């Protein structure tokens, strides 16, 4: 899309996120084909008194990217800009999808160290909201950033790293879109390696009793608990010498397509229509998965297709509190009339040094709760959130929560550092919206 289109904007239409729980109608939509066009779009929006938000693929469940002003679609700003093997870094344009980055790096014999479990998001959308996987020693995608470039509210281009504008770098890696529009990111990368994954069913009581042991013994440990049952499925990912030994095509189709997508879609649709069937379905579903071991390159092990649409809440807790919180969650579900068809996911991350990262300054474990799209989720999420906040939980910036600046300022020691930087970079709130007003204050 050329300068004229970027200048004039396209016909505004309603925008909807992936889950369908957030919509917005911007005044205009722009798809800049260059950083210069983006700078011009920001300057013009400011002149017109309009707010500006960039939106990736809409995988956030919050209104972090919603705007009634100018909606920027950065997908034309895509691709690898440069690769520095000696430094172990790759610089990539902000609209690049993680799946495209992962495949391009693999073709060059390189990989990110850790990643989340889906790769549909743009690199800027994923990092700005704190997307993470699970890891004992390796942290979120944002923690792997070595430099970034962003367009500020006055249309200027700012480059930041530990050496250049370090105070911006300390905050903008997880910036929630509040500090500017990210145009490029430099990630640390390493030579491509193999991971061996071990998936194994395990009882709730055992996995919670042995949680610290599993965490300590594995580079990447996570598990899923199936509500209304005492059953979990565990996954351990550890580096190996290889060679690649991926799941056979039949096994992969059964586990990843039939059970995780096709059949899962069908049973969730049934559960939404007839909630009383959910506990029985959960007992069958939680026993359907079998133990398997396979080896492959990182993105083929860390990530998997997720085609069943849902709404999600996730909280980051001090790691030492996660087992107690999960047991409280199970007790709450058991004594309630709630019918929960989605498993609860538990992952970990080491402490990092990013101001508003959910793992900022503390070793962290995450509990994620989900509900099938179209199913009322408020009662479940409200009860879960009460448990999580009782343990000093920090909500994922891109997932459903009800927290505000008053609460968040108490659980983020560097909250004031972030908001002061925002006041300096965007005093007129060109990048503001209702969500940021709630979580960061006016």
Q: Are 86 and 44 in contact (CB under 8 A)?
A: no
Please report the DSSP string for 16-65 in residue order.
E-TTSS-EE--SEEE--SSHHHHHHHHHHHHHTT--EEE--S---SSSTT
| pTM reported for the whole predicted model | 0.93
Cα–Cα distance, 270 to 264 (Å, whole number): 10
Residue-by-residue DSSP string for 197-229: EEEEEEEHHHHHHTHHHHHHH-SEEEEEE-TTS
Q: Give the least confident one: 132-136, 240-244, 356-360.
A: 240-244
Tell me how crowded residue 246 is: count the other CB atoms within 10 A of its CB.
Answer: 14
86: left (phi over 0), alpha (psi -120 to 50) or beta: alpha
Mean pLDDT over 1-29 rounds to 72
Classified as helix, coil or strand, 192 is coil
pLDDT of residue 63: 95
pLDDT of residue 262: 60
Given a contact cutoff of 8 angstroms between Cβ atoms, the answer to whether 97 and 63 are in contact is no
Handedness of CA 67, 385, 319, 421 (dihedral sign): positive
Percent of the chain with pLDDT strictly greater than 90: 83
| Interval 39-78: pLDDT, tens | 999 999 999 999 999 999 999 999 999 999 999 999 999 9
Confidence class for position 18, pLDDT limits 50, 70, 90? very high
- Report the Cα–Cα distance between both ends of the chain, in Å, rounded: 35
Q: How confident is residue 138, by pLDDT bands cut at 50, 70 and 90? A: very high
Nearest of 73, 68, 190 to residue 125 by alpha carbon: 73
Quote the Cα angle for 388-390-391, to 5°: 70
d(CA 216, CA 218): 6
pLDDT over threshold 60, residue 2: no
Per-residue confidence (pLDDT) for residue 8, from 0 to 100? 44
Query: Six-digit token pair at 131?
Result: 């997307």
CB-based contact 235:221 (threshold 8 Å) = yes
E strand or H helix at 77, and its extent? none
Lowest mean pLDDT among 5-14, 165-174, 236-245, 304-313: 5-14
The span from the CA of 201 to the CA of 286, in Å, is: 8
* Better pLDDT: 268 or 190: 190
Confidence of residue 361 (pLDDT cuts 50, 70, 90): very high
Residues 183-222 pLDDT 10s? 999 999 999 999 999 999 999 999 999 999 999 999 999 9
3-class state of residue 161 by DSSP: strand
Q: Say what percent of the chain tops pLDDT 70.
A: 93
Q: In the predicted model, is pLDDT for residue 309 greater than 90?
A: no
Q: Of 306, 301, 299, which is closest to residue 102 (Cα–Cα)? A: 299
pLDDT of 122 over the 60 cut: yes
Indicate whether 5 pLDDT > 50.
no
Spell out a b/e string for 371-393, using b for 16 or more CB atoms within 10 Å of the CB, else e. bbbebebeebbebbbebbbebeb
Contacts of 71 (CB under 8 A, 6+ apart): 12, 15, 24, 26, 28, 29, 30, 53, 54, 55, 65
Task: Categorize the per-residue pLDDT at 271 as very low, low, confident or very high, splitting at 50, 70 and 90.
Answer: confident
Nearest to 85 by CA among 105, 114, 59: 105
pLDDT score recorded for residue 4 = 31
What is the maximum alpha-carbon separation in the chain? Answer: 62
């Amino acid at each position: 899309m050329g300068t004229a289109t970027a200048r004039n904007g396209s016909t505004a239409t309603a925008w909807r996120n992936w889950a369908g729980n957030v919509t917005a109608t911007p005044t205009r939509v722009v798809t800049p084909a260059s950083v210069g066009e983006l700078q011009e779009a920001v300057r013009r929006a400011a002149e017109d008194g309009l707010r500006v938000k960039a939106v990736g693929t809409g995988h956030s469940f919050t209104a972090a990217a919603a705007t009634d002003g100018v909606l920027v679609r950065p997908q034309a700003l895509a691709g690898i800009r440069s690769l520095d093997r000696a430094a172990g870094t790759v610089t990539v344009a902000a609209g690049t999808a993680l799946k495209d980055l992962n495949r391009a790096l693999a073709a060059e014999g390189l990989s990110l160290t850790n990643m989340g479990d889906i790769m549909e998001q743009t690199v800027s959308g994923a990092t700005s909201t704190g997307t993470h996987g699970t890891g004992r020693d390796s942290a979120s995608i944002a923690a792997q950033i070595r430099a970034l470039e962003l367009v500020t509210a006055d249309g200027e281009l700012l480059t930041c790293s530990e050496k250049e504008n370090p105070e911006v770098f300390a905050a903008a890696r997880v910036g929630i879109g509040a500090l500017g529009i990210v145009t490029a990111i430099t990630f640390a990368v390493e030579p491509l390696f193999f991971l061996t994954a071990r998936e194994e069913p395990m009882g709730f009581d055992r996995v919670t009793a042995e949680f610290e042991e599993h965490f300590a013994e594995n580079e990447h440990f996570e598990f899923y608990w199936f509500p209304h049952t005492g059953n979990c499925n565990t996954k351990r990912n550890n580096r190996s010498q290889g060679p690649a030994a991926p799941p056979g095509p039949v096994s992969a189709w059964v586990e990843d397509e039939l059970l995780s997508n096709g059949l899962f879609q069908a049973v969730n649709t049934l559960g939404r229509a007839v909630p009383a069937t959910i506990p029985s379905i959960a007992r069958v579903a939680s026993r359907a998965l079998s133990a398997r071991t396979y080896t492959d390159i990182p993105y083929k092990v860390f990530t998997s297709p997720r085609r069943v649409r849902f709404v999600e809440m996730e909280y980051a807790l001090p790691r030492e509190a996660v087992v107690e919180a999960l047991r409280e969650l199970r007790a709450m579900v058991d004594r309630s009339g709630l019918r929960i068809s989605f498993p609860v996911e538990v992952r970990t991350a080491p402490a990092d040094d990013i101001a508003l990262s959910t793992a900022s300054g503390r070793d962290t474990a995450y509990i994620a709760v989900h509900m099938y799209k179209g199913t009322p989720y408020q009662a479940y999420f409200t009860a879960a959130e009460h448990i999580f906040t009782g343990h000093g939980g920090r909500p994922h910036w891109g997932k459903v929560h009800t927290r505000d600046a008053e609460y968040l300022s108490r659980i983020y020691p560097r909250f004031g550092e972030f908001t002061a930087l925002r006041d300096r970079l965007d005093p007129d709130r060109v990048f503001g919206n209702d969500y940021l007003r709630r979580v960061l204050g006016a």
